[in-house]
Amino acid sequence: MEDLRYPIGHFQPPAIITADHRKRYINDIRHLPSLIELAVQGLDEHQLQTPYRPGGWTVVQVVHHLADSHMNGFTRLKLALTEDNPTIKPYDEAAWAELPDVQYTPINISITLLHALHARWAAVLEHMEARHWDRTFFHPGNNASNTLAKHLANYSWHGLHHLAHIEKLKEREGWK
C-alpha cells in the first residue's frame, strides 16, 4: 500500500538546494500541467472516477487537488516574497476534495487553471534573486518555517507524486 500511496517515495529535499536543483524544480513546475493533461487524455468517465489506490482519491479528485494545492503554493510563495516570515493558512485538503466543485466541474477546468497558474509561477521563480530563496513562511501545521528553496522542492515533488498516482494506476489497469 505504501508504494501505491507514495509511488516516487516520500518528500526528501536535499540538504543543500543548489542552483541546478532549483532549475530542475522550476522545469518540473513549468511542465507539470502538460504532463497531467497527457496522463488523463483519453480516459473515460469510469476511469476518471477510479481511485488511484484502495481508499484513495479518484483521478478527478487528484487533478482538482493539484489545482487547489498549487494555488495555495503559489500564494505562499508570493506571501513570503512580500512579507517577513508570514504565517500561512493550512487547509483540509481531504475536505476540499469532497466539495461540489470537485464533483461537478470537469477536470479540463483545473487543467486549464494549472496551465495558467504554472506559467505565472514559473515566471516568478525564474526571476527570483539568489537571496530570495532563503526567504521563509511559517506553517502552523508543522510548527516550522520553510525556505522558498525547500518550498520549490516540495511542490516539484508534489506534482510528480500525483502524476505518478495517475500513471501507475493506468499501468496497473492496462489503460492506454
Range 1-27 average pLDDT: 95
For 9-32, what is the mean pLDDT? 97
Integer Cα distance of 102 and 63 in angstroms = 9
Fold exhibited by the domain 2-6+18-173: Four Helix Bundle (Hemerythrin (Met), subunit A) (1.20.120)
Nearest C-alpha neighbor of 87 from the set 19, 123, 139: 139
Provide the pLDDT for residue 46.
Answer: 98
Q: Which helix (H) or strand (E) holds 155?
A: helix 148-173
Give residue 11's pLDDT.
97
State residue 176's pLDDT score.
82
- Asked if 25 and 37 count as a contact pair (C-beta separation under 8 A), the reply is no
Cell 509561477: give the residue: 121
Provide the whole-model pTM.
Answer: 0.96
Counting residues of the chain whose pLDDT is more than 70, the rounded percentage is 99
Give, for 136, the enclosing helix (H) or strand (E): strand 136-139
| Whole-angstrom distance, CA of residue 86 vs CA of residue 81 | 9
- Average the pLDDT over 27-32 and give the result: 98
pLDDT band at 155 (very low <50, low <70, confident <90, very high): very high
| Residue 36 confidence (pLDDT) above 80 | yes
Domain ranges of the chain: 2-6+18-173
Residue 2 pLDDT > 80, yes or no?
no
**pLDDT digits 0-9 by tens, 97-148:** 999 999 999 999 999 999 999 999 999 999 999 999 999 999 999 999 999 9
Mean per-residue pLDDT of the chain: 97
How far is residue 128's CA from residue 37's CA, in Å, rounded to a whole number?
A: 28
Alpha helices in 54-147 (DSSP H): 59-82, 93-96, 100-104, 107-126
